[in-house]
Structures are given as C-alpha cells and as structure tokens.
C-alpha cells in the first residue's frame, strides 16, 4: 500500500475451505504495467475482480483504475492463461465513454458477463461485456445512486443488487434492489428494505459491499455470502489497515429479499 491509500499492485490468495489461505503472489504490478494511463504513476487500483472466460480459455482481471485525485475514473483490464498470472496489461478505458468509479461484475451460467459500476457517482450502470470481456457494448440497465455494487441471482427470474450509499470511506446502511426479469437487459430495479438490522449490522459492521459470493455445497444448496471491505477509516492505521467482513445473506421469511444474518445466529468471519 502506497501513500494516500494507493495500491501498488494486486495480490492473489487461494483457499479450499474459505478459512485457511495461501499467498500465491503479486499477480499485477500497476506501476510497471499501466503504461497507457494519462498521467504518471502512482495509480489507484481498487476493487479487482477476476473472471474466467471459457470461450477464450483465459482469465480476465478487471479493476477500477484511476489517478490519486480520481481524475481519470476508468476500468483497467489485464489477461492471463493461468489465474496466478502473469497478467498481461491490455488497457484502461472508460466503459461506454462514461466515468467509472466503484465496480463489480456478474456472470451468467452461459458465460455472458456484465459490468456494474457507479457512473459519475450519479447512478449505477450495467453494461454487457464483449465476448472477450475486455470492453463494453453499451448501457443496458440503470439503478439508483450508490457504490460498492454487487449482483447475485438466486432464481432464473430474480436479480438482486447490493450497494452502499456514498459516504467516502465511512460506513453507512446498505441498500438492496430487486429486478424480476429474464435478463439484465432492460431490468427495472426496485428498492427493498435495508438488508440489515440491529446494533452494528445497520452499517454492515463498518464495512462496504464488495461482492456477493455464491457458495455451492455438494448437495447443490447455495449460500450467498456478503463480502465487505472494512475500511477502518477512523481506527488505528486507518484505511491502510483495512480488513474484511463476510456475512451470510439469507432469504427473508416474508419473501421480500435477503438480509445479513445476525452474528449471534451464524457467526461471522473477519480477516
């Protein structure tokens, strides 16, 4: 981690049980590889995600690429044949010609992939990625203003979008939206009750949504896990000492969405 909360690169860790982790190495070095950015290094490297593209037999690394002052909000792209790299830098681009801040992705079972990001911090925009996952093909759906977006799909007709309000590195109550549609194209999003309650939970235990991970068990049961960045803005070490919070997301009994499970019921993981 560099000064001003800037990351010099991206590290990769692996696990077979989500508890014990092995450091696989530095898979991307921004200072050395991001040679087409409009300004000299250092750069911002935030919210990295890796997708496997079966059609092209390669891994695609996508992340929010920017300058220290957020003057070039873009998406960085690098590719590799092995998930552990080395990753070859492709470029930084503004998806659909629009400023892109916090970002995530969603991948359908057939391999079709989508980018979701905060556009100018005015609204959340969703675009389909090109077949090689290195570009976008235009906005297909928009959601209200937010950041830290993550989409998950528990049924063939139900998409959920989790996000946070815009309060810099300070925590805030989470947001959840729902779309009932056969595709993300043209999906209309409706706000649901905040998916958390109780002391601490209402601000996701000082974390911000980063990804919702579908953990599939041997019997086919899927548990959705909220993965949040705990920025630690006011604590010792500040953002440079950030950690993570993982919580189970379970369906509400009344069928009106999902909620972060109470800590005293299923426990939690912080690392």
Query: pLDDT tens, 192-228?
Result: 988 876 667 777 888 899 999 999 999 999 999 999 9
CA distance 65 to 48: 9
* Total structural domains within the chain: 2
Which one of 35-39, 90-94, 229-233, 262-266 scores highest in mean pLDDT?
90-94
Same domain, 151 and 270: yes
In the three-class reduction of DSSP (H, G, I as helix; E, B as strand; rest coil), residue 238 is classed as helix
Which pLDDT belongs to residue 49?
Answer: 96
Average the pLDDT over 118-122 and give the result. Answer: 96
Same domain, 163 and 262: yes
Same domain, 81 and 21: yes
* Residue 256, domain CATH: 2.115.10.20
- Stated pTM of the model: 0.92
In the three-class reduction of DSSP (H, G, I as helix; E, B as strand; rest coil), residue 195 is classed as coil
Same domain, 155 and 230: yes
Pair of tokens at residue 266? 């299923």
Which pLDDT belongs to residue 253?
Answer: 85
Which pLDDT belongs to residue 198?
Answer: 66
Return all residues near 36 (Cβ < 8 A) that are at least 6 apart. 91, 92
DSSP states along 6-70 = B-SEEEEEE-SSSSS-EEEEEEEEHHHH-TTSSSPSP-EEEEEEEEEETTTTEEEEEEEEE-TTS
What band does 262 get if pLDDT is binned at 50, 70 and 90? low
Q: If you ran DSSP here, which 8-state letter would residue 130 be given?
A: P
Looking at the DSSP bridge assignments, the partners of residue 190 are 178
CA distance 122 to 206: 23
Same domain, 188 and 265: yes
Give residue 85's Cα distance to chain centre.
Answer: 20
- Using the predicted structure, report yes or no on whether residue 270 has a pLDDT greater than 50: no
Q: Where are the alpha helices (DSSP H) in the chain?
A: 30-33, 263-266
What band does 19 get if pLDDT is binned at 50, 70 and 90? confident
Can the peptide bond before residue 35 be classed as cis, meaning omega within 30 degrees of 0?
no
Same domain, 171 and 92: no
Structural domain including 223 reads: 146-271
Sheet holding 190-191, edge to edge: 147-155, 158-164, 174-180, 190-191
Greater confidence (198 vs 136) lies with: 136
Query: pLDDT tens, 152-168?
Result: 999 999 999 999 999 88
- Mean pLDDT in the chain? 89
């Amino acid at each position: 981690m560099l000064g001003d909360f800037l990351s010099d690169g991206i590290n990769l860790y692996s696990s077979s049980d989500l508890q014990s982790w092995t450091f696989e190495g530095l898979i991307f070095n921004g200072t050395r590889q991001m040679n087409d950015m409009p300004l000299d290094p250092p750069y911002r490297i935030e919210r990295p995600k890796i997708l496997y593209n079966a059609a092209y037999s390669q891994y695609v690394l996508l992340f929010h690429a920017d300058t220290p002052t957020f003057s070039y909000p873009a998406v960085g792209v690098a590719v590799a044949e092995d998930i552990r790299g080395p990753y070859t830098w492709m470029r930084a681009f503004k998806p659909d010609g629009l400023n892109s801040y916090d970002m995530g992705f969603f991948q359908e079972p057939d391999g079709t992939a989508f980018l979701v990001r905060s556009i100018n911090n005015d609204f959340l925009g969703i675009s389909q990625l090109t077949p090689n996952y290195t570009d976008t093909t235009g906005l297909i759906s928009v959601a209200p203003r937010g950041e830290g977006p993550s989409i998950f799909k528990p049924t063939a007709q139900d998409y959920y979008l989790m996000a946070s309000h815009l309060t810099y590195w300070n925590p805030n109550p989470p947001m959840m939206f729902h779309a009932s549609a056969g595709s993300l194209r043209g999906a209309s999003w409706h706000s649901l009750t905040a998916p958390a309650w109780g002391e601490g939970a209402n601000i996701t235990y000082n974390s911000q949504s980063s990804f919702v991970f579908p953990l599939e068990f041997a019997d086919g049961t899927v548990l959705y896990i909220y993965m949040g960045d705990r920025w630690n803005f006011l604590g010792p070490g500040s953002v440079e000492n950030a950690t993570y919070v993982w919580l189970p997301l379970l369906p509400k009994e009344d069928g009106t969405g999902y909620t972060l499970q109470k800590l005293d019921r299923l426990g939690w993981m912080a690392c």
